[in-house]
A and B are shown apart, each in its own frame.
Chain A
Amino acid sequence: MKSFKKYSILSYFFIFFSCSESLDFNQLDDYVSKPIFTAALTYFKVVPAKFFDSSGTIQRNSVTEITNFDVLQNQFIKDNLVKFDLNAQIKNEFDRDATINIQFLNANNVAVYTFSPIFIESKNTNFIYLEEIVITANPTILSTTKIKITAELENTGIQMDVNDPSEFEFKSSVTFYLESSLK
């Protein structure tokens, strides 16, 4: 019977008197996840013929393209995006300078952010561009639903050769900086 009491007490000891170091679960309130995502954006490679009409006789000095872009409509990104970078790598083999204009548009086709014009000199084959956008300074950018890109050629007064094989190449990517907490 003494043994029974002894082992019963031991059992109670383990159940009720186990120890635990003090823990602070509220520390998680201070946790901030800061992932950085990089993604390919738009790209194109054009030759002078792209700047001519279908007959190949009349040169245009600019071409424009628009696409839908709904990434910034994702609620998680809307809530947690603090900054994003637009990166571009451009090759201009043409015999004239070129300018790329990029605009972010809202659903009504109104520009909510206009990037500084990207000016690429003729024959510059390794142009690097980076623009950082801080969201708190440009909150309207979060209403972006479209991207508009215009490629504009310098008007030299001399028409390009429609059969010239030289290329104008544009590559781009975006880098999203997110910060989210568990609160």
Chain B
Amino acid sequence: MKKILLVAVVFTTSLFSQNKQVLYDFADLPQTLLLNPGLENSYKFHVGVPLISGISTQFGSTGVVLNDLFAIDNQNINNKVSTVLQSLTTKDFVQMNTQIEILNVGYRLNEKTYLSGGFYQEIDAIGYYPKDLVILFSEGNDAYLNKSFSASQINYKLDVLGVLHAGITRKVNEKLTVGGRFKIYSAALNIESTNNSGTFTTVLGADNIYRHYLSNVKMIERSAGLIDGNKEFITKPETYLKNTFLKGDLGVGFDIGITYHIDKQLQFSASILDFGFINHSKNIKNYKEEGNFVFDGFEFQFDEDSNVDYWQQINNRFKKQLPTTENEDSYVSWRPAKINMALKYSFGEKRSEVCYDNSYQDFYTDAIGAQLFTVFRPLNPQLALTAFYQKSFTKKLHGKVTYTIDEFSAYNFGLGLSAQLGKVNFYGMFDNLLAYRNLASANSLSLQLGLNILFN
């Protein structure tokens, strides 16, 4: 056991993260089926309280916190901004993810099969820090001769969507449970620009004092659901809300997961979530800039016989050599796929709980383990490693503490609680507890809350 845990820890020590690590495989909550459809449960059926069965929100920012800029410290704001901008790197980013469950229900079909489904809305956004672009616009190019300002640092993606899902959890045998979930995405809004390239460089020239290069430029900015057919921004929130209910751009995706009992106390589980895509075809507006352009200034000819408009000449050459094109072509955007893996060792007092069929199921009161989470983002996968301890105080009251290393913090402690009063279950998960001492200095915050009606 120790060896297995050691291997798991060593294998994942160099990894970082951001996720729902407290909720994952916790207290048989129905919402854990959205993190791994192959997790076991003992319900006859469940109903999430509409709109409040699952509310989760996460916000993260690497490299800068509110306090860095807005602390009341009598420092000059220009100096503070300059310090922050210089300290940030192109790998720093800001991201936000919010999910609200509109509906979450489940029903046990038979001894081995549990069906679950529902609908939730999600906002998911990430933007990397385009350091060169920020420096160029905040300081200019005058002090940066020979520096190539890179467009490849422009990476952002925003999705607003609704997700209709149906899943099945199937117990294959005493050791193995598998699960799958089919999702239909309805995107109300997508804005993205990734995989850009190109540089802007100013050098000392030969023919003139300076020469400017725009080299190997290839930039694409896509949007769906943002600009209507009259080329006006869609500003009504109800339009976005309506489009999340299967009236937006549609897509499909899958979740798959397994739980495997290595022995009576050791369990391995894993899942792949949101392996899917959305085909954007409504209210599309895409822009593309591609080409090369070299500018030395206006070369005067002093030719009496011609009346050259040098400005127009340069404009025409720019439009020809580095054109900006618009189109309304449909495009596909992939959902940010996620991977969860966990190894859990249960121990402590052995108890029994009543199952859906009035049989009894043994469980241990305590468990420790490690979880690994990965989400595939535009620039690179984000990783998180979590160690956890969970305890069942009673059959109806469960707690979980986590310690997570991720890109936001190496001191991320989380706490979760699930309590059931009669058929009503309440759960709350709080991540990065130390940050609650001073939210202004927090790099990340994450919480999940919800109410369910459970029938065991």
Known interface pairs A21-B441, A31-B77; A67-B71 also in contact (CB < 8 Å): no
Give the Cβ gap from A14 to chain B, nearest Cβ, in Å. Answer: 5
Contact partner of B66 (CB less than 8 A), chosen from A10, A23, A46, is: A23
Contact partner of A19 (CB less than 8 A), chosen from B138, B139, B202, B437, is: B437
* Chain A 30-77 interface residues, beta-carbon cutoff 8 Å to B: 30-46, 50, 54, 63-65, 67-70
- Are the CB atoms of B433 and A14 closer together than 8 Å? yes
Question: Is A7 among interface residues, defined by CB-CB distance under 8 A?
Answer: yes
Alpha-carbon distance A133/B142, docked complex (angstroms): 17
Question: Is B210 among interface residues, defined by CB-CB distance under 8 A?
Answer: yes
Question: Is A89 among interface residues, defined by CB-CB distance under 8 A?
Answer: yes
- Are the CB atoms of A36 and B139 closer together than 8 Å? yes
- Are the CB atoms of B212 and A39 closer together than 8 Å? yes
Question: Is B11 among interface residues, defined by CB-CB distance under 8 A?
Answer: no
Question: Is A116 among interface residues, defined by CB-CB distance under 8 A?
Answer: no
Give the Cβ gap from B141 to chain A, nearest Cβ, in Å. Answer: 6
- Are the CB atoms of A172 and B70 closer together than 8 Å? no
- Bitwise, B412-423 to A at CB < 8 A (1) or not (0) is 000101010100
Cβ–Cβ < 8 Å partners of B211 in chain A: 40
* Chain B 416-445 interface residues, beta-carbon cutoff 8 Å to A: 417, 419, 421, 428, 430, 433, 436-441
Question: Is A136 among interface residues, defined by CB-CB distance under 8 A?
Answer: no
Known interface pairs A3-B394, A11-B417, A42-B298; A172-B142 also in contact (CB < 8 Å): no
- Are the CB atoms of A175 and B72 closer together than 8 Å? no
- Bitwise, B302-334 to A at CB < 8 A (1) or not (0) is 101100111110000000000000000000000
- Are the CB atoms of A20 and B300 closer together than 8 Å? no
- Are the CB atoms of B399 and A7 closer together than 8 Å? yes
- Are the CB atoms of A3 and B397 closer together than 8 Å? yes
Cβ–Cβ < 8 Å partners of B419 in chain A: 4, 7-8
Alpha-carbon distance A53/B187, docked complex (angstroms): 69
Alpha-carbon distance A22/B66, docked complex (angstroms): 10
- Are the CB atoms of A38 and B210 closer together than 8 Å? yes
Cβ–Cβ < 8 Å partners of A19 in chain B: 436-439
Closest residue of chain B to A20 (Cβ to Cβ) is B439
Question: Is B109 among interface residues, defined by CB-CB distance under 8 A?
Answer: no
Cβ–Cβ < 8 Å partners of A176 in chain B: 140
Known interface pairs A21-B441, A23-B67; A41-B298 also in contact (CB < 8 Å): yes
Cβ–Cβ < 8 Å partners of A42 in chain B: 208, 297-300, 310
Cβ–Cβ < 8 Å partners of A50 in chain B: 302
- Are the CB atoms of B207 and A171 closer together than 8 Å? yes
- Bitwise, A158-183 to B at CB < 8 A (1) or not (0) is 00000000000001110110100000
Question: Is B295 among interface residues, defined by CB-CB distance under 8 A?
Answer: yes
Question: Is A108 among interface residues, defined by CB-CB distance under 8 A?
Answer: no
- Are the CB atoms of B209 and A40 closer together than 8 Å? yes
- Are the CB atoms of B311 and A40 closer together than 8 Å? no
Alpha-carbon distance A24/B310, docked complex (angstroms): 50
- Are the CB atoms of B77 and A14 closer together than 8 Å? no
Give the Cβ gap from B115 to chain A, nearest Cβ, in Å. Answer: 30
Cβ–Cβ < 8 Å partners of B430 in chain A: 11, 14
- Are the CB atoms of A171 and B208 closer together than 8 Å? yes
Cβ–Cβ < 8 Å partners of B207 in chain A: 43, 45, 171
Alpha-carbon distance A182/B305, docked complex (angstroms): 49
Alpha-carbon distance A149/B300, docked complex (angstroms): 9
- Are the CB atoms of A35 and B138 closer together than 8 Å? yes
Closest residue of chain A to B308 (Cβ to Cβ) is A67
- Are the CB atoms of B212 and A40 closer together than 8 Å? yes
Question: Is A18 among interface residues, defined by CB-CB distance under 8 A?
Answer: yes
Question: Is B393 among interface residues, defined by CB-CB distance under 8 A?
Answer: yes
- Bitwise, B136-176 to A at CB < 8 A (1) or not (0) is 11111111000000000000000000000000000000000
Question: Is B110 among interface residues, defined by CB-CB distance under 8 A?
Answer: no
Closest residue of chain B to A85 (Cβ to Cβ) is B142
Cβ–Cβ < 8 Å partners of A175 in chain B: 142
Alpha-carbon distance A39/B297, docked complex (angstroms): 8
Alpha-carbon distance A38/B202, docked complex (angstroms): 9
Cβ–Cβ < 8 Å partners of B298 in chain A: 41-43, 67
- Are the CB atoms of A173 and B417 closer together than 8 Å? no
Contact partner of A38 (CB less than 8 A), chosen from B72, B142, B301, is: B142
List the 10 shortest-distance A-B pairs measured between CB atoms, nearest first: A40-B297, A35-B140, A68-B311, A18-B436, A67-B310, A36-B142, A43-B208, A23-B70, A20-B439, A36-B140
Residues of A within 8 A of B (CB): 3-4, 7-8, 10-11, 14-15, 18-25, 27-28, 30-46, 50, 54, 63-65, 67-70, 87, 89, 149, 151, 171-173, 175-176, 178
A149-B300, A171-B297 are known; give 20 further A-B pairs, CB within 8 A.
A8-B419, A14-B430, A19-B438, A20-B438, A23-B71, A27-B69, A31-B81, A33-B138, A35-B140, A36-B140, A37-B141, A39-B210, A40-B209, A40-B211, A41-B208, A43-B209, A63-B302, A67-B309, A171-B207, A176-B140
Residues of B within 8 A of A (CB): 66-67, 69-72, 76-78, 80-81, 136-143, 202, 205, 207-212, 295-302, 304-305, 308-312, 393-394, 397, 399, 415, 417, 419, 421, 428, 430, 433, 436-441
Q: List 7 A-B contacts (CB under 8 A).
A: A8-B417, A42-B208, A43-B208, A43-B299, A65-B301, A149-B300, A173-B297
